[in-house]
Amino acid sequence: MDVSDRLVARRAHLAPFCRVEPVKQHLRLQSYYQLARQLYRQSETYFAESAWDNAYVFLAKFIKCVWKLFYAGWTMRVNWAIVARGRDS
């Protein structure tokens, strides 16, 4: 079996376990921080065990989760600034 075939098979096998839900504004950012930390720890564990396919999948999920976390935090701050300016007027 070719390496690329193994990678495709491994990703297909791990896909159900690696779902990251989209960020919803009403959820606390802390829960997404904890999810990002968990994904990062899991990728570290796979990296230490030389399970490169698994480490790659979890690291990609970590990056996606961190991006959503950053975007949600930024959006909340912008909304807060807009509301604060409206009160000052």
Q: Is the pLDDT of residue 77 over 60?
A: yes
Work out the average pLDDT over 24-35: 67
Q: Measure the N-to-C terminal CA separation of the chain; round to a whole number of Å.
A: 67
Q: Is the pLDDT of residue 12 over 70?
A: yes
Q: Is the pLDDT of residue 76 over 70?
A: no
Q: Is the pLDDT of residue 15 over 70?
A: yes
pLDDT at res. 67: 77
Token duo for residue 18: 């690696």
pLDDT at res. 26: 52
- Residue 50 gets the label, from left (phi > 0), alpha (psi -120 to 50) or beta, of left
pTM (predicted TM-score): 0.41
Q: Is the pLDDT of residue 69 over 60?
A: yes
Domain count for the chain: 1
Which domain, by its residues, includes 44?
3-88
Q: Quick one: which of 32, 42, 41 has its CA closest to 64?
A: 32
pLDDT confidence tier of residue 74, bands split at 50, 70 and 90? low
